[in-house]
């Protein structure tokens, strides 16, 4: 049996991961609506990753005999003003998710829940990658976004991203 607080935080994370998927679908739709299909693709793939992250948390809870509690997924509230601001919001969101993962890790550490800590190790590493990717997008847009040819090339590059399911073994 897992600690009650840890179970609560893991269940909350399920909801946060589904929210992340909604948020990134919202971003994706904005980009598609504005002719930046590569950016739209990048965030659609990102949404798939977030959904799978939620499923990993669900599977972990189930594997440990814990009840999964699904909550309402809020509608994204980020203002979709322009392409650049959305990228910055994406970076802020990944930093927020990192803080959530660290909070669960800290709770597991405080009760010596090494199994949950080991499970979360993958997410700690994943969040480092997520923040790096989001930061890279912001920087690339700052460098190339004002030049139509460069923006076209960046959009084309992002259009090549394909979905790869996470390789975490539970």
Q: Where are the alpha helices (DSSP H) in the chain?
A: 4-33, 37-63, 83-110, 114-144, 148-159
Torsion of CA 3, 47, 49, 1, to 10 degrees: 10
pLDDT of residue 10: 98
Residue 143 phi/psi, 5-degree rounding, is -75, -40
**CB 65 within 8 Å of CB 9:** no
CB of 38 closer than 8 Å to CB of 64: no
Domains identified in the chain and CATH numbers = 4-159 (1.20.1260.10)
| Global model pTM greater than 0.75 | yes
Using only C-alpha atoms, the chain has a radius of gyration, in whole angstroms, of 17
pLDDT of 1 reads 83
pLDDT of residue 161: 87
CB atoms under 10 Å from CB of 135, counted, come to: 16
Tokens linked to 95: 């930093």
* Among 13, 110, 108, residue whose Cα is nearest residue 68: 13
pLDDT number for residue 169: 61
- Per-residue pLDDT tens over the stretch 24-71: 999 999 999 999 999 999 999 999 999 999 999 999 999 999 999 999
Low-confidence ranges of the chain (pLDDT < 70): 168-170
DSSP-assigned letters across all residues of 10-35: HHHHHHHHHHHHHHHHHHHHHHHHTT
């Amino acid at each position: 049996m897992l600690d009650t607080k840890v179970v609560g935080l893991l269940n909350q994370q399920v909801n946060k991961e589904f929210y992340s998927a909604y948020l990134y679908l919202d971003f994706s739709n904005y980009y598609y609506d504005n002719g930046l299909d590569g950016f739209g693709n990048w965030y659609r793939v990102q949404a798939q990753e977030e959904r799978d992250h939620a499923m990993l948390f669900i599977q972990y809870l189930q594997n440990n005999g814990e009840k999964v509690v699904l909550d309402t997924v809020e509608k994204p509230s980020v203002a979709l003003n322009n392409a650049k601001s959305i990228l910055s919001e994406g970076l802020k969101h990944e930093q927020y998710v990192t803080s959530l993962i660290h909070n669960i890790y800290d709770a597991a550490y405080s009760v010596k829940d090494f199994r949950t800590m080991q499970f979360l190790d993958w997410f700690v590493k994943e969040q480092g990658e997520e923040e790096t990717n989001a930061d890279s997008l912001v920087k690339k847009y700052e460098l190339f976004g004002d030049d139509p040819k460069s923006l076209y090339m960046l959009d084309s590059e992002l259009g090549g991203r394909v979905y790869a399911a996470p390789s975490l073994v539970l």
